[in-house]
Amino acid sequence: MFCLDDICTQFHYVFQDDYLKNLVYEAGSTSEKEEFDSYMNEIEKKNSEARKWLDQFPQYQWAQAHDSGRRYRVMTIDAENLFAFCESFQSLGLPVTATALLLFDEMRFFFYSGLCDSSGRVNRGDMYTKPVMDQLEKLMTDSIPHVVMPLEKGLFQVTEPLQEDEWIVQLSEWSCTCGEFQLKKFPCLHVLAVCEKLKINPLQYVDDCYSLDRLYKTYAATFSPVPEVAAWPEASGVPTLFPPVILPPPNVSVNDKAKVPPSDEELRNAIVDILKVVDLKTTAIADVLKRLAEKFEIDLTPRKSSIKTMIQNELSS
């Protein structure tokens, strides 16, 4: 399974088209196959090569409408927070081994806290987490205006007054034509309307992954302590890795003077210029970093954190 944000970033890197990138995101986000096909057809109409590029990836790996609920509608990874978390340890200037041990201990503490919290709620008799129950209550309120009409073979037609749309619910198959029920494995508005009509408990249609018992079992994993470094076995059969030999670009002499890194003021001015011409709603920080690297023709990775701070300062000013 791919992160939808990463797919869109890779796509934009290849085709440099914000409009097409937005279509890719919409295609990956929609839960309805008809809408997915519509977005894909629009992409093909605008750029057939872009459609071919997308077709190299199986649709279930990046499109919600085709993943059969494998990801419970979780389409992206919060990579920025993940990297920021790792960088916070790296900034301590510790050796790699010490950093790895700190990360392990942080993860162990996180699981211990989650175990204590979920255990306490299970012992109180709670079945589901508060966010799950809050969401269910909100959807039940929103489902009140819907009208339910029984059809044959356990099917129900659900409509909303003054709206032309209609949805078909089949509780025995855990399905609704809106697609939300299958993807999230959690009752949608239309399923809740049917449950209210039949006077049955909708919690029976909430997947086990949302239960506190499952949450408790997830955090109950045992963490074996990491032995002292001196007790680690000697590596055998592992080749020694050396830094790669970086050849100079074609037509550039090894004696050529290295490029001078841009100053903070030059970077800040370049960031302002870039932010003026991009769509702030769809442009990721990684896109801005790439444009800066191309402008100055230099690797800016070592200054990534300070550049991100500059970008955030400009956006908030």
Question: How many Cα atoms within 13 Å fall on the side-chain side of residue 49?
Answer: 6
The torsion angle over the Cα atoms of residues 191, 194, 198 and 202, rounded to 10 degrees, is 20
CA 47, CA 55: separation in Å to the nearest integer? 13
Who's near 57: CB < 8 A, 6+ residues apart? 2, 7
pLDDT of 251 reads 56
Per-residue pLDDT of the chain (317 residues; tens, 9 = 90+): 788 888 998 999 999 999 999 999 999 988 888 899 999 999 999 999 999 999 999 999 999 888 877 877 788 877 677 667 677 766 777 777 777 788 888 888 888 888 998 999 889 988 998 888 999 999 999 999 999 999 988 899 999 887 888 999 999 999 999 888 988 899 999 999 999 999 999 999 999 989 999 999 988 877 777 777 788 777 777 777 676 666 665 554 544 445 677 888 888 888 888 888 776 666 677 777 788 888 888 777 777 777 877 877 777 66
The reported pTM is: 0.56
pLDDT of 190 reads 95
CB 154 within 8 A of CB 109: no
CA 131, CA 197: separation in Å to the nearest integer? 25
pLDDT of 198 reads 94
CA 122, CA 213: separation in Å to the nearest integer? 7
Who's near 198: CB < 8 A, 6+ residues apart? none
Q: What is the CA radius of gyration of the chain?
A: 26
pLDDT of 92 reads 73
Who's near 127: CB < 8 A, 6+ residues apart? 203, 211, 212, 213
